[in-house]
Amino acid sequence: MFKGTAIKITDAMISHGIISADRKVVCSWGMTHILDTLLNLAIYAVIGLIFDMLPEAALFTVSYILLRIWAGGYHASTPLRCTVISDFILIAALLGMRTAETNKNAFLVCTAVSAMILVLLMPVEDLHKPLDMAERKKYRRKGLIVLTVEAMASVIFYEAGIFYLYSAVCMAWQMLAAVLIMGRVKNCLKGGKEYEGKT
């Protein structure tokens, strides 16, 4: 989304001698991702403020992203679509958190089912970037480690009676479980190939 701006910034860095010209492609690519990330974080913060749920939005985002890195799942075809889908995921998560405490039993069941889906499915790779056997093992191992750490944190929040933080972590699992299922469906529809343990 910020490719043009990133190139201008990179050109300015080259003209001021901050980086060498042969680093332009790499630096402009990195700058594009930095700007995209900053925009997304700003949008997430605004959404959290609108809902008056900034701590929940922040913890949800951290929990979701840390696990998403290793779990994989559905990927949008353009950065703009990715941003829009991510924003809707956050809004849906915050709405879900608002009803979590009044529907604790249903929320606990959804959380348990989501955790099982994550354990069974991750990682779900993209058809355009399949993982070989070694990569699948690495991503799965790291994903399970992150899931375990988040589970421990959620138990601490629950036992301490901080339900809004507990629900933020668990809602990240619920949203990510849906994203993994969507990724599997997309892979089946687009290519009929899952790369399950294949090199």
What pTM value is reported for the model? 0.82
Tokens 């913890």 locate to 59
Give CA–CA dist 127/75, Å, rounded: 10
Which residues lie closer than 8 Å to 139 by C-beta, 6 or more apart? 70, 71, 72, 122, 123, 131
DSSP state of 195: -
Give CA–CA dist 164/197, Å, rounded: 38
What value does the mean pLDDT take over residues 73-91?
87
The predicted pLDDT at position 2 comes to 65
| Whether residue 26 has pLDDT greater than 90 | no
What value does the mean pLDDT take over residues 155-178?
96
Residue 186: what residue type?
Answer: K
What is the 3 state secondary structure string of 33-100?
HHHHHHHHHHHHHHHHHHCCCHHHHHHHHHHHHHHHHHHECCCCCCHHHHHHHHHHHHHHHHHHHHHH
The predicted pLDDT at position 6 comes to 67
Tokens 């399950």 locate to 196
